[in-house]
Amino acid sequence: MSLPGKRDSFGSKFGIIAAAAGSAVGLGNIWKFPYITGQNGGGAFLLIYLLCVLLLGVPVMISEFTIGRSGKRNVFGSFKSLAPDSPWYFVGIMGVVAAFVILSFYSAVAGWTLEYIVKSLTIGFGNQSTGELSKAFSSFLAHPLRPVIWQLLFMLLTALIVVGGIKNGIERYNKFLMPILVFFLLLLCVRSVTLPGSEKGLSFLFKPDFSRVNIKTILFAMGQAFFSLSLGMGALITYASYFRKTDNLGRTAMTVSLADTMIAILAGVVIFPAVFSFNIEPTAGPSLVFITLPEIFSHLPLGNLFGLVFFILLAVAALTSTVSVLEVVVAYFSEELGISRKKATVLASVSISILGIFASLSFGPLSSFKLFGKSIFDLLDFIASNILLPGGGLLIVIFVGWYLNGKFVLNEVSNSGELKVKYFPVYLFIVRFIAPVAIAAIFIYSVFYGSLG
Q: Residues 79-134: pLDDT tens digits?
A: 999 999 999 999 999 999 999 999 999 999 999 999 999 999 988 777 777 778 88
Instruction: Name the percent of the chain in helix, strand, coil, to the closest 5.
Output: 75, 0, 25
Distances 13 to 130, 215, 236, 244, 398 between C-alpha atoms, Å: 45, 39, 15, 9, 29
Interatomic CA distance for residues 159 and 346, integer angstroms: 8
pTM for this prediction = 0.94
Task: Tell me the one-letter amino acid at 131.
Answer: G
Q: What pLDDT, on the 0 to 100 scale, is given for residue 3?
A: 44
Interatomic CA distance for residues 291 and 136, integer angstroms: 9
**pLDDT tens digits for 219-250?**
888 888 888 898 999 999 999 999 999 999 99
Interatomic CA distance for residues 173 and 169, integer angstroms: 6
Say if residues 110 and 315 touch (Cβ distance below 8 Å). yes
Q: Domain spanning 13-380: which CATH class is it, in words? A: mainly alpha
Residue 434 burial (C-beta neighbours within 10 Å; 0-12, 13-18, 19+): middle
DSSP 211: G
R_g of the chain computed on alpha carbons = 21
Neighbours of 7 (CB within 10 A): 14
Lowest average pLDDT, out of 254-263, 274-283, 289-298, 389-398, goes to 274-283
Q: What percent of the chain has pLDDT over 70?
A: 96
Say if residues 96 and 76 touch (Cβ distance below 8 Å). yes
Contacts of residue 90, Cβ cutoff 8 Å, sequence gap at least 6: 79
Residue 34 burial (C-beta neighbours within 10 Å; 0-12, 13-18, 19+): buried
Q: Is the pLDDT of residue 451 over 70?
A: no
Say if residues 272 and 430 touch (Cβ distance below 8 Å). no
